[in-house]
Structure 1
Amino acid sequence: MNNLSFRQTIFLYLLNQLDGERSVNSIFHILTGKKSSQTIQDIKWYNVTNYFHMFPYWKASAFKEETEDLSKKELIHIDEKLVGMLPEGKLYITNFASTYEWPVFFNGWKYGQAETPFWKRLALLVQCLSYSLAGSRSFVPVFEEEDIQQWLKQIWPKTIDDKRKMADVLFRELIQLLETLPDKDAFLFSYRLSGYRYTGLTLRQLSSMSVLEEDECYFRFQAVIHYLLEHMADTIYLKKAAEDLVERRVLTSTTKKTLHYLNQGFTIEDIANIRRLKRSTIEDHLVEIASEDSGFAIHQYVPETLQNVIIHTAKAEQTMRLKTIKEAIPDQEVDYYHIRLTLAYFGGNHGNT
């Protein structure tokens, strides 16, 4: 059982959190960061936003092979709709959870979209400062995307003294935060940076230098990026590198359009007609908004008494499955939309069902 990959181990850990109430595809979509209404609901209802976008590069074919391997090893059972843990799988995860040192911070839902451009900006800034202060203009930039280089031009200091000051402040900002992390995580981040006469290492190279799999190196490196983003408020240059990248509310582009009309006072029917979409699609958008916005007027869609019934039932039944909850409150005027909206609101950032 010790020959499981790191990705397989995380799959089992997430599956244990979902309590056998979701499909294999649901777990795949969470780990790869698919922004669909169903996936967003899943991560909010089950409080697993930190797992979102952990392995965005995990191919469907490889995922299928690795989950089938878990089934053959009798760690999980899979049927057409749901995947659940078997006793040996639970034992494995119990042992893993008791010994594994998790990163200090990781939130793929909050920072998954910002992590890559933030890292590219920061890495290019460090490299350019290093070469400039060494008096060398001849080097290949670590990232050549036009938008990344344009950002750097906008903040680039004009004088050598300003460059020294920027480098000193940025160094202190990074050191202050990295010193609070486990050595292996600070190592992963530091050795990926490039500078004068030094080329940052790839994750594969870092994996070969440590006892960590490449997938775990990727996960822990991203966790450092998330940590820096989470603590950028009291910095100067980390905050500049994150400018316009982190949104207060993480919404899909199509939901943002619906929110625009909602803020103008349009009804669900109005928005569906204007956008030429099904009512159910607009309802999906409202569920997404409810999970992110503490000011969402849920009482306009679900009476407070019904909200309380739904929350109480979810707790009593110890489930987030819509069908189970609906069948448990047969005497109430409740439909699946009421349940979804209530679970999204109270299971998101504003409460815990």
Structure 2
Amino acid sequence: MKLSSIILKIAEKMDGQRSLNASLHVLRGKRSGQTLQDIDYFSVKPYFSLIPKLADSTFAEAVISLQHTGMIKESEGIVTVTEKGKRAAKELGDFQFDGWHYRGREEIFFLRLVLLVQTLSQLRSSRNSFHPITNDRKIQQFVKDVLHTQQVTRTNSARSLAEELLLALKMTGISDLQAILLSHRLTGADASGWTWEQLEESTGESVASLQLEYLEALHRLIAVSERVDAAEKLPILHKLATGIRIETPLTDSTAITKKLFDQELSIDEIAIVRQLKVNTIEDHITEIATNDADFPIDRFVDLADQLAVQQEVRRHRVKRLRLLKDKFPHLSYFQLRLILSTTKGEPV
């Protein structure tokens, strides 16, 4: 799996409507009003915040490879996917990421799993003292609590976890390579988890590609572990998955703004109360609109203007704010973003 493949999938969703930076912001998980609207409007939530620390140079290298192979073109800052690129994107199939709901918390799940495996392995070897794989106190306490809830012997606990992992990996449908990555990253009593460099040498794949494979596999493992029926089928993994999924769609700051908005304060009043810029509050309001099917858009835009913009979007398949602004100069960018946010999911 290559970064360029993921960028191609995102670009295909935004075809002819957004710049390359829009894809970069999605992968990094930028919490701006525009990006939060884009991920919902273009259905790219699975890729949100996949690589928070993605370097500009790494992203640029992947983009150049797509351009050189004739997959994408860029004109006036807007990216379009060529017919060759569309065929390639289709052949790639669907990736099984869930960046929107995990946003980096998948690593917490894996650290819990690694520490539990290490602990059970050490106890099974009658070693009550060892150096834990992580110094995170919260992770350590979580694993202790999981162990205390296990009403079986140490040997049975280790065996039960091994059986759960085998069943869970089968349920995920991940590839052999992904299963190898997950298993080789684990640490036992007499075996340390492999480094990415060791995995690279062993598989012949680049570290960057392996890390994407690992990330997708981890997302799929968490997904089966947090299912309702997993409480019975995968009780240990189900506990490890507790609290990993982010259910609240709003950022903490936006949630505060929403409380004031629900009290019917104006944007200017909210900005004063919160001591934030009006533009920041507008971003918050857009985020609220994106995640609220009953958002009162009539407070900001007349119904006639809403219908006119919606008709323009459907008729000409336009989702670029600048083009909509040219067509409706009397509407602000904020108003246009709200209209797009509240018409998500409708055919265009």
Q: Same fold (TM over 0.5)?
A: yes
Q: C-alpha displacement at 1:69, in angstroms? A: 5.3
**Residue in structure 1 matched with residue 180 of structure 2 by the alignment:** 187
Moved more, 281-290 or 259-268: 259-268
Q: Quick one: distance in 2 between partners of 1:304 and 1:135?
A: 72
Counterpart residue type for residue 43 of structure 2: N
Q: Quick one: distance in 2 between partners of 1:118 and 1:76?
A: 36
Contact 1:179–1:186, Cα closer than 8 Å, also in 2: no
**Residue in structure 1 matched with residue 314 of structure 2 by the alignment:** 315
TM-score w.r.t. the length of structure 2 is 0.83
Change in Cα spacing, 1:200 to 1:252, as seen in structure 2 (3 Å) is same
For residues 52-97 of structure 1, what are the alpha-carbon distances to aligned partners after superposition, in whole Å with 9 as ceiling and x for unaligned?
2333343113333443455456654445633334x4xx41552353
Change in Cα spacing, 1:102 to 1:216, as seen in structure 2 (3 Å) is farther
**Residue in structure 1 matched with residue 127 of structure 2 by the alignment:** 136
Q: Quick one: distance in 2 between partners of 1:248 and 1:351?
A: 24
Please point out which of 20, 26, 29 is paired with 1:24.
20
Q: C-alpha displacement at 1:285, in angstroms? A: 0.4
**Residue in structure 2 matched with residue 273 of structure 1 by the alignment:** 272
Q: C-alpha displacement at 1:237, in angstroms? A: 3.2
Tell me, which stretches of 5 or more residues in structure 2 are unaligned?
Answer: none
**Residue in structure 1 matched with residue 101 of structure 2 by the alignment:** 110
Alignment of 1:43-58 (within 5 A): 43-58=39-54
SS at match of 1:119: helix
Alignment of 1:27-42 (within 5 A): 27-42=23-38
Counterpart residue type for residue 31 of structure 1: L
Change in Cα spacing, 1:286 to 1:169, as seen in structure 2 (3 Å) is farther
Contact 2:105–2:245, Cα closer than 8 Å, also in 1: yes
Change in Cα spacing, 1:158 to 1:176, as seen in structure 2 (3 Å) is closer
Q: Quick one: distance in 1 between partners of 2:237 and 2:263?
A: 36
Change in Cα spacing, 1:165 to 1:297, as seen in structure 2 (3 Å) is farther
Q: Could you say what the CA RMSD is over the residues aligned between the two structures, in angstroms?
A: 3.1
Contact 1:317–1:325, Cα closer than 8 Å, also in 2: no
Q: In the alignment, does 2:219 pair up with 1:233?
A: no
Q: Quick one: distance in 1 between partners of 2:159 and 2:60?
A: 48
Tell me, which stretches of 5 or more residues in structure 1 are unaligned?
Answer: none
Q: C-alpha displacement at 1:276, in angstroms? A: 1.6
Change in Cα spacing, 1:112 to 1:159, as seen in structure 2 (3 Å) is closer
Q: C-alpha displacement at 1:287, in angstroms? A: 0.8
Counterpart residue type for residue 97 of structure 1: K
Q: C-alpha displacement at 1:179, in angstroms? A: 0.3
Alignment of 1:210-249 (within 5 A): 210=203, 212-231=205-224, 232-234=226-228, 235=231, 236-249=235-248
SS at match of 1:19: coil
Q: C-alpha displacement at 1:318, in angstroms? A: 1.0
**Residue in structure 1 matched with residue 113 of structure 2 by the alignment:** 122
Q: C-alpha displacement at 1:339, in angstroms? A: 2.2
SS at match of 2:152: helix
Q: C-alpha displacement at 1:15, in angstroms? A: 2.0
Contact 2:70–2:85, Cα closer than 8 Å, also in 1: no
Q: C-alpha displacement at 1:272, in angstroms? A: 0.9
For residues 248-278 of structure 1, what are the alpha-carbon distances to aligned partners after superposition, in whole Å with 9 as ceiling and x for unaligned?
1233332222123234443323211101222
Contact 2:286–2:341, Cα closer than 8 Å, also in 1: yes
Change in Cα spacing, 1:307 to 1:260, as seen in structure 2 (3 Å) is same
Q: In the alignment, does 2:8 pair up with 1:8?
A: no
Please point out which of 336, 339, 347 is paired with 1:339.
336
Q: Quick one: distance in 2 between partners of 1:36 and 1:114?
A: 20
TM-score w.r.t. the length of structure 1 is 0.82
**Residue in structure 1 matched with residue 88 of structure 2 by the alignment:** 95
SS at match of 1:179: helix
Contact 1:345–1:351, Cα closer than 8 Å, also in 2: no
Contact 1:193–1:199, Cα closer than 8 Å, also in 2: yes
Share of identical aligned residues, percent? 30
SS at match of 1:255: helix
Change in Cα spacing, 1:24 to 1:158, as seen in structure 2 (3 Å) is closer
**Residue in structure 2 matched with residue 260 of structure 1 by the alignment:** 259
SS at match of 2:80: strand
Moved more, 132-141 or 294-303: 294-303
Q: In the alignment, does 2:176 pair up with 1:176?
A: no
Alignment of 1:158-169 (within 5 A): 161=152, 163=154, 166-169=157-160
Contact 1:45–1:344, Cα closer than 8 Å, also in 2: yes
Q: Quick one: distance in 2 between partners of 1:187 and 1:304?
A: 55
Q: In the alignment, does 2:204 pair up with 1:205?
A: no
Counterpart residue type for residue 215 of structure 1: A
Contact 2:8–2:89, Cα closer than 8 Å, also in 1: no
Moved more, 52-61 or 155-164: 155-164
Contact 2:179–2:217, Cα closer than 8 Å, also in 1: yes
Counterpart residue type for residue 220 of structure 2: Y
Q: Quick one: distance in 1 between partners of 2:259 and 2:163?
A: 41
Change in Cα spacing, 1:69 to 1:179, as seen in structure 2 (3 Å) is closer
Q: C-alpha displacement at 1:159, in angstroms? A: 7.8
SS at match of 2:191: coil
Q: Quick one: distance in 1 between partners of 2:169 and 2:277?
A: 48
Contact 1:133–1:160, Cα closer than 8 Å, also in 2: no
SS at match of 2:148: coil
